[in-house]
């Protein structure tokens, strides 16, 4: 693929991803980066669209990936076709060691489902010209590819969607040529980034709601050993207890639903025990002021079907006795 430097017409603040070049002469018309997101990667042929659930149905379930997501829409005006774009990117991916997981150009059923993709899948994608980049595109020119690169530091996935515009279109401010969406997902666990609750805020929360949820106490997956970065949160709990010498607390461990109920009941109790032990040993808190409890995922405050929800459910709560 011919490499070109970023063009003056690129969307302000947009840039190429360091893992992948752009097609020669194209420019960025949409750009979005998220530090952590879920992404369902197509790896098989599209079968239908569930209007009620607003969900595409594939022959095999999409691959659910979590990590950083970069989405770039490139416009290649002129005589470029979507096939030319997709082939160039496929060759570039292969040259970098990517494995092609799905290629619609080699899928005999693809011609029958591209109209569904055009009608339902992309009408809300915004560029600097229009929300409706799919709306007036040539549905016969839609091309889709997914690919994977294995790396020690975390696998990388790419999802390509190329479309054609048969002519200049004033209503949607699109130029004759082709567009390609380049989605790059770098799989990695989410970095816990919850603000540590201060002793004074703990006191206010307990007084107003009868409990306080803490997210600054960290454990490795399926373990109950408190990680060193939990110290600021433990400092604040100890400060609260010393400022309120008559207070007695239930220390309640909460988990997400990964691993089953029995396993999580034990894990949540062991984590609560570890918090109590740390407060007694390292801060001199009297043991009879603290009671450890574990409730697994029986008291969620968010859904357990997304990583964001599961992260909110993994917590330690303090409840007055």
pLDDT in tens, 300-321: 998 888 777 888 899 999 999 9
Question: Which class is domain 27-187?
Answer: alpha beta
Domain ranges of the chain: 27-187, 199-320
Token output for 102: 């799905």
Strands of 190-233, DSSP E: 212-214
Contact 132, 79 (CB under 8 A): no
Q: Whole-angstrom Cα distance, residue 129 to residue 29?
A: 7
Under the banding of pLDDT at 50, 70 and 90, the label for residue 2 is very low
Percentage with pLDDT > 70 across the chain: 81
What does CATH list as the number for 199-320? 3.30.1330.60
pLDDT of residue 5: 44
User: The pTM is what?
Assistant: 0.59
* b/e 196-219 (16+ beta carbons within 10 angstroms → b): bbebeebbebbeeeebbbbbbbeb
pLDDT of residue 131: 52
Using alpha carbons, select from 170, 148, 203, 164 the residue that is nearest to residue 318: 203
The mean pLDDT of the chain is 84
Q: Which of 113-127, 187-201, 236-250, 296-310 tops mean pLDDT?
A: 236-250
HSE, side-chain direction, 13 A CA sphere, residue 137: 33
Tens-place pLDDT, residues 206-258: 999 999 999 889 988 889 999 998 999 999 999 999 999 999 999 999 999 98
Contact 238, 283 (CB under 8 A): yes
Tens-place pLDDT, residues 167-180: 666 555 567 888 89
Strands in 27-41's sheet, in edge-to-edge order, are 27-41, 63-77, 177-187, 156-165, 138-149, 99-103
pLDDT of residue 54: 60
Token output for 196: 């540590």
Angle at 42 between CA 153 and CA 51, to 5 degrees: 135
Contact 158, 182 (CB under 8 A): yes
Block residue for tokens 């309640």? 252
Under the banding of pLDDT at 50, 70 and 90, the label for residue 60 is confident
HSE, side-chain direction, 13 A CA sphere, residue 62: 17
Contact 147, 63 (CB under 8 A): no
Residue 136 or residue 233, greater confidence: 233
pLDDT of residue 75: 87
């Amino acid at each position: 693929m011919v490499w070109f430097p970023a063009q003056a017409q690129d969307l302000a603040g947009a840039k190429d991803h360091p893992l992948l070049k752009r097609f020669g002469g194209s420019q960025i018309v949409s750009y979005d980066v998220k530090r952590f997101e879920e992404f369902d990667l197509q790896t098989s042929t599209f079968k239908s669209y569930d209007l009620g659930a607003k969900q595409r149905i594939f022959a095999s379930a999409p691959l659910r990936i979590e990590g950083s997501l970069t989405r770039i829409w490139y416009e290649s005006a002129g005589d470029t076709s979507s096939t030319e774009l997709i082939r160039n990117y496929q060759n570039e991916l292969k040259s970098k060691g990517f494995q092609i997981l799905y290629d619609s150009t080699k899928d005999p059923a693809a011609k029958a489902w591209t109209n569904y993709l055009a009608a339902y899948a992309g009408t809300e994608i915004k560029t600097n010209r229009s929300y409706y980049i799919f709306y007036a595109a040539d549905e016969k020119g839609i091309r889709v590819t997914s690919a994977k690169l294995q790396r020690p530091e975390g696998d990388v996935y790419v999802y390509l969607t190329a479309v054609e515009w048969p002519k200049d279109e004033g209503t949607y401010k699109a130029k004759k040529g082709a567009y390609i969406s380049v989605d790059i997902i770098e799989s990695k666990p989410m970095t816990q980034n919850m603000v540590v609750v201060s002793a004074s805020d703990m006191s206010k929360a307990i007084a107003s709601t009868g409990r306080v949820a803490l997210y600054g106490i960290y454990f490795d997956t399926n373990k109950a050993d408190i990680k060193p970065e939990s110290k600021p949160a433990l400092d604040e709990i100890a400060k609260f207890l010393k400022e309120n010498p008559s207070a007695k607390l239930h220390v309640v461990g909460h988990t997400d639903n990964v691993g089953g109920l029995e396993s999580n009941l034990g894990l949540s109790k062991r984590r609560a025990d570890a918090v109590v032990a740390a407060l007694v040993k390292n801060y001199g808190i009297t043991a009879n002021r603290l009671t450890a409890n574990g409730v697994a995922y029986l008291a969620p405050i968010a859904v357990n079907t997304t990583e964001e929800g599961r992260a909110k459910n993994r917590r330690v709560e303090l409840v007055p006795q």
